[in-house]
Amino acid sequence: MTLATSRPAKNLTPSYFHVLAKPTGAVCNLDCKYCFYLTKESLYPDSDFRMADDLLELYITQLLESRTEPLVTIAWQGGEPTLMGLDFFRRGVELAEERKKPGQTIEHTIQTNGTRLDDEWCEFFRQKRFLVGLSVDGPRHLHNAYRVDKGGKGTFDQVMRGWELLRKHEVEFNILCTVHAANVDHPLEVYRFFRDELKAEFIQIIPIVERVNADIVQIESVGGTRLGEPRSLYQQSGNQVTDRTVNPEKLGQFLIEIFDEWVRRDIGTVYVQMFDTTLGAHVGQYGVCVFSPTCGDAVALEHNGDLYSCDHYVEPDFKLGNIREQHIADMVSSDRQRKFGNDKQTTLPRFCRECDVRFACNGGCPKDRFATTPDGERGLNYLCGGYMKFFQHVDKPMRFMASRLKMGCAPSDIMQWYAAEDNKWRTAAAKAGRNETCPCGSGRKAKHCHAALTRLTSSANGLN
């Protein structure tokens, strides 16, 4: 076997691509019930699930020599990447410093469940300026619903110990929150917990959609490893979902309620990826593959060097090759991978192509496109109803913020606009009566809309 240590043979590498490297593969110390990646262990039945030192060196070398932009991100995920041990990441940082090109700056990120962090880990993260993504699904009773250990016990306390250590060592962190059947009815409880209790400044919201075939939906709804027995390999097939899967309409309402609080008081202090992405779409910029017109520039690297088209498509049909045999840049720029990415756009059903919010949604992630359009065409995103509800709700404030950006002004100016609007509608709502429909046009009762905003608006902005 020839090691692919030379530079890429083709000069067709995308201007930007992102690699999620999984040094332990699917191996994790937890057994989260909705985790699709745990089943990927079955792809490598005889593996020790540890990235070899020479492969680490090869990966970093290929990544850095492929990149032309000054800032290069080296991102680690899993499974649980901290199972590799701290020395592995020390070597990774050293290799990156040795192999980086003149003018390159390296940014290191890691996604972790936080349960294995200690002072040594967190001091290393601080010194090397890692951005740490911490997986938390909300307060204890919501987090523990599905994020459990191998014994089925909730992990909230262990995760909070990890968070405390990150704070103690002043490590930059963000929160990754999955939205599912257990927490979707508690949007403000979840958001305020992150903002007020965890002091989070960056929040990423990921909807859980567990797509399964009808014949196994009951089995897969159990989740985890079911008394130590491995689940069958999770693949993107079927048109049914598990009980844990988020309801589309409820997802839309979850996002709306958080947005309505965020836009009134937290712009510029709390960054919610979904909201930033939507604002980007309103000015013609796309930074997240889910809502970009095309995809294919975010690939997944397994522990043995296998490269897959996407983190959600780690399955045999989407394996691009192995970096020991082909350069990573050649695989990313291959006709096969370009087709994978372009199919996101070319396979949109007519319902999506003619949709008013297509510019913001672009059909969502292909993995979730297994529903049927109103006119019977396959390929509609399962979450369409929720996304459409959200994008329509935020259209006016997003257009306001986009116009401010184009003028070189701060989008946070909208908070003053909301304060004035809320004053107007709050007065009108008081005259209408708490149980009557709010005159603002939301369709909600006044007591659940502007009649309830007095305390929120006053405390949030100090503008009244």
27-84 pLDDT, tens per residue?
Answer: 999 999 999 899 999 999 999 999 999 999 999 999 999 988 899 999 999 999 999 9
Phi, psi of 449, rounded to the nearest 5 degrees: -130, -115
| pLDDT at residue 335, as a whole number | 96
Q: What is the DSSP letter of 13?
A: -
pLDDT of 88 > 50? The answer is yes
Nearest Cα to Cα of residue 133 among 74, 165, 177: 177
Q: Tell me the average pLDDT across 207-215.
A: 88
DSSP state, 129? T
Report pLDDT for 233: 74
Please say if the pLDDT value at position 448 is more than 90: no
Rounded Cα distance, 225 and 151, in Å: 10
The span from the CA of 175 to the CA of 412, in Å, is 22
Span 169-178, pLDDT tens digits = 999 999 999 9
What is the per-residue pLDDT for 438?
85
- What is the C-alpha separation between 233 and 127, in angstroms, rounded? 39
Burial class (CB in 10 A: 0-12, 13-18, 19+), 103: exposed
| Amino acid code (one letter) for 424 | K
* Amino acid 436: pLDDT: 85
| Per annotation, catalytic residue among 311, 330, 368, 422 | 311
Please name the residue that has the structure tokens 């290393």.
124
d(CA 315, CA 256): 34
Active site residue 311: yes
Residue 113, pLDDT above cutoff 70 = yes
Nearest residue to 113 (alpha-carbon basis) of 74, 162, 180, 171? 162
In this predicted structure, what is the pLDDT of residue 447?
Answer: 80
Q: What pLDDT does residue 13 have?
A: 61
Residue recorded with tokens 């890429």: 8
- Long-range (24+ apart) CB contacts under 8 A made by 233-237 are 233/39, 233/40, 233/42, 233/43, 233/315, 234/36, 234/37, 234/39, 234/40, 235/315, 236/211, 236/312, 236/313, 236/315, 236/367, 237/211, 237/213
DSSP letter for each residue of 74-115 = EEE-SS-GGGG-HHHHHHHHHHHHHHPPTT-EEEEEEEE-ST
Strand partners, 73: 107
DSSP letter string over 279-337? HHHHTT---SGGGSS----EEEE-TTSEEES-GGG-SGGGEEEETTTS-HHHHHTSHHH
Let me know: does 382 contact 369? Beta carbons within 8 Å. yes
Whole-number Å distance between alpha carbons of 160 and 16? 35
Fill in the DSSP letter of residue 24.
T
Question: For residue 185, what pLDDT is reported?
Answer: 98
Distance (Å, rounded) from C-alpha 419 to C-alpha 425? Answer: 10
Which structure tokens are listed for 374? 């109103």
Q: What is residue 8's predicted lDDT score, i.e. its pLDDT? A: 61
pLDDT at residue 461 is higher than 70: no
Out of 183-197, 219-233, 291-305, which region has the weakest mean confidence (pLDDT)? 219-233
User: Other CB atoms closer than 10 Å to residue 191's CB: what's the count?
Assistant: 24
The pLDDT of 100-113, averaged and rounded, is: 96
C-alpha triplet 54, 60, 65: angle, nearest 5° = 125
Whether 146 contacts 244, CB under 8 Å? yes
> What pTM was computed for the model?
0.91
User: Which residue stretches of 128-174 are H helix?
Assistant: 140-143, 156-168
What does the alpha-carbon distance between residue 131 and residue 128 come to, in Å, rounded to a whole number? 9
Q: How many CA atoms lie within 13 A of 378 on its CB side?
A: 3
Residue 287 to residue 103: CA distance in whole angstroms: 23
When the pLDDT of each residue in the chain is averaged and rounded to a whole number, the result is 91
179 neighbors 248 (Cβ within 8 angstroms):
no
**Residues 170/126, Cβ–Cβ less than 8 Å:** yes
- Whole-angstrom CA distances from 61 to 54, 74, 237, 397 are 11, 11, 35, 44
pLDDT value for 25: 97
Which letter, b or e, does each residue of 353-386 get, where b requires 16 or more Cβ atoms within 10 Å of its Cβ?
eebebbebbbbbbbbbbbbeeeeeeebbbbbbbb
**pLDDT surpasses 90 at 329:** yes
User: How confident is the model over 308-328, as pLDDT tens digits?
Assistant: 999 999 999 999 999 999 999
